[in-house]
Structure 1
Amino acid sequence: MKRFLICRHAKSSWDKPFLADHKRPLAPRGLRNAKDMAQKLVAKKIFPDMIISSDAERAKHTAEIFADILGIGKNHFKLTSELYHASPTEILKYIRKTPNTVDTLFIFGHNPGLTDLVVELGEDLENLPTTGVFGFTFNVEDWGDVGKKNAKFWMHDYPKNPEAQN
């Protein structure tokens, strides 16, 4: 069984409107939401084997907060430019390259690619909000086999969610 969670980066700051998009930091609310959402996963006993994040500052910082709270060490944390504004096809292609020693993968990235990936895998989602988490399970042993035909809803949560689904 393979499981993956996707998380849209936390709320970013627009205090410096001329700062390059790739370098935008998290806003204070984003910092709080990232900590709160990571603690929700701890409470649900959801701990990934590996975290992979877009290398954009806001996604990277969100992933680092989650990694710290979830106890994920540097050997199980990777940054990549391939997830920066990636399409659903590109994200899935990247996920399929995951080593099979990993059973639970956590991906941090950006919209619209993340929301579109959830929809492509068969779930109805209008928008994955900032710091929103969506998870799927796949009854397969090889990451290369994950796709719509074997995707099953696992969980969905976000900062302002009164009733998390899992």
Structure 2
Amino acid sequence: MKTLTLLRHAKSGYDDPLLRDFDRPLNDRGRRASVSIGQWLRAAQRKQEMPEFDHVAASPAVRCRQTIEGVEEGLGVPLAPIYEKRIYLSSSATLVELVAGFAAHHQHALLVGHNPGLEDLLLELVPRGSGPARDDAELKYPTATLARLDLDIERWAQVDGGRAQLTQFIRPRDLDPSLGPDD
């Protein structure tokens, strides 16, 4: 069994029209949301409701880097991500290819990236009709939302559609109503 956790970057700002998309930073709400998700992770890991990550792959975009910094602050430990350019604005097909290439010894990977790729990946891996969390994800995968997928596979190379169970779908607004409504 492998566990893949997906984290969409936190809410970013659009204040500077001259700034490239890649360079957009988090806004205030995004910073608070990323710390809140990190705090939730810390509590869930202490209660053994969420395994610790042994691999972290992330988009190098500024908003993803800052999301990771906020999560690390809330979690209280560094995540040591490997930044992969191909995650930036990638399709679910590219993300499946990336995940399939994770080293076999990794058991619980965190993938930090962007929509629509992350949402499409979740919807591809988790079968339709598998529960209310899947239905929520299909309606909207908000910024800074964490989704845990348990995969009934022995090797990452076996990852493919319809083989995952969505066991957690944590939105920032679920942790702190001031972090909603969804963007």
Contact map agreement 2:36 2:71 (CA 8 A) in 1: no
**Aligned twin of 2:20:** 20
Gaps of 5+ in 1: none
TM-score normalized by the length of structure 2: 0.82
Shift of the alpha carbon at 1:72? 3.4
Tell me the SS of whatever aligns to 2:13. coil
Aligned partner (choices 72, 84, 87) of residue 88 of structure 2: 84
Q: Percent identity?
A: 29
Q: Counterpart of 1:38? A: 38
User: Is 2:69 aligned against 1:71?
Assistant: no
Give yes or no for the alignment of 1:54 onto 2:67.
Answer: no
1:70–1:153 CA distance, 2 compared to 1 (3 A): farther
How many pairs align? 161
**Alpha-carbon distance change, 30 to 111 in structure 1, aligned in 2, over 3 angstroms:** same
Q: Which residue identity does 1:30 align to in structure 2?
A: G
Please report the TM-score for the alignment, with normalisation by the length of structure 1: 0.90
Note the aligned Cα RMSD (angstroms): 1.7
Q: Is the 8 A contact 1:49 1:103 kept in 2?
A: yes
Q: Which runs of 5+ in 2 are unaligned?
A: 128-133, 176-183
Which residue identity is paired with 2:23? K
Retained in 1: the 8 A contact 2:35–2:72?
no
1-side partners of 2:5 and 2:142: how far apart? Answer: 14
Q: Deviations over 1:51-77 (max 9, x none)?
A: 111011001211233245252353xx2
C-alpha contact 1:11 1:27 (8 A) present in aligned 2: yes
Q: Which has the higher helix share?
A: 2
Map of 1:158 onto structure 2: 171
- The answer to whether the 8 A contact 1:26-1:58 is kept is yes
